[in-house]
Amino acid sequence: MIEFINVDKEYENGFKALKNVNLTIEDGEFVAIIGGSGAGKSTLIRTINKMHDITSGKLTVNGKDVSSLKGQELRDFRRDIGMVFQGFNLVERTTVQKNVLSAFIPELSGFKKVFGLYSDDMKKKALEALDSVDILDKAYQRTDALSGGQKQRVALARTIVQKPTIILADEPIASLDPVTSRQVMNYFTNLNQKYNITILINIHDVDMALKYATRVLGVRKGEIVFSGHPSEVNDEVITNIYGQDPKSIVVE
């Protein structure tokens, strides 16, 4: 379970990205976070794995006070939380399999870490993760030869191999075409349903959010202004979240 209690986040320049956020995410939920540019969506999910520190309030994940975590304890905590980015965050000049294997680097020690010496079991798990997102046939190809959708599936495989209980995704389909976007969202759905992984996706496409999520959060100016089932989202709700008529919203 993820719990925000009166959480604020203020950056050094004085910008308040989160304001008195009170929110509970239950295990196994598929949550889509929607809102305008600069609303605080990315900040919200990046506080969960402590990529961003909160300024005040309390944030707990599976009973752990995130603000108190540091050093090895923080690294161990992050192993349980997968992160998927819009820009994929892959090493383009190496193979697909090696990108997935990079998830095991924290488990290596000494010269094995320096030279990237992975066990046969790790290699097997990497291939199984690639197979789970239907890209096993690209395992030994260079990553820079892949399409954007294929790269995002590799990023997902790298996350899967960690066996996380939570996956955070920051605009994972923003740079993809509609067909590929649906394919990637289907993989998220499969992970959520098959493994009961809690998924939080910061997403710009409202229609995609309503189609795939089991719960929608609306963020505006750092505040949670809506939390509910996709069926509850109507024109009035969208107007409140974005501050404009739904018909005037342009999805980029």
Q: Interhelix angle for 148-160 vs 120-132, to 10°?
A: 130
Percent above pLDDT 70 for the chain: 96
> Model confidence over 156-207: pLDDT tens digits?
999 999 999 999 999 999 888 999 999 999 999 999 998 999 999 999 899 9
What per-residue confidence (pLDDT) applies to 105? 83
Stretch among 27-36, 44-53, 108-117, 159-168 having the lowest mean pLDDT: 108-117
The neighbour count for residue 70, using CB atoms within 10 Å, is: 10
What is the Rg, in whole angstroms, of the alpha carbon atoms belonging to the chain? 18
The pTM of the full predicted model, rounded to 2 decimals, is 0.90
> What are 226's strand-pairing partners?
218
Share of the chain above pLDDT 90, in %: 80
Residue 237: left if φ>0, alpha if ψ -120 to 50, beta else—which one?
Answer: alpha
Give residue 9's Cα distance to chain centre: 19
- The pLDDT of residue 5: 98
Report the SS3 class of residue 183: helix
> What structural domains does the chain harbor?
28-53+68-80+164-252 (3.40.50.300), 90-163 (no CATH)
Q: How far apart are CA 165 and CA 198, in angstroms?
A: 6
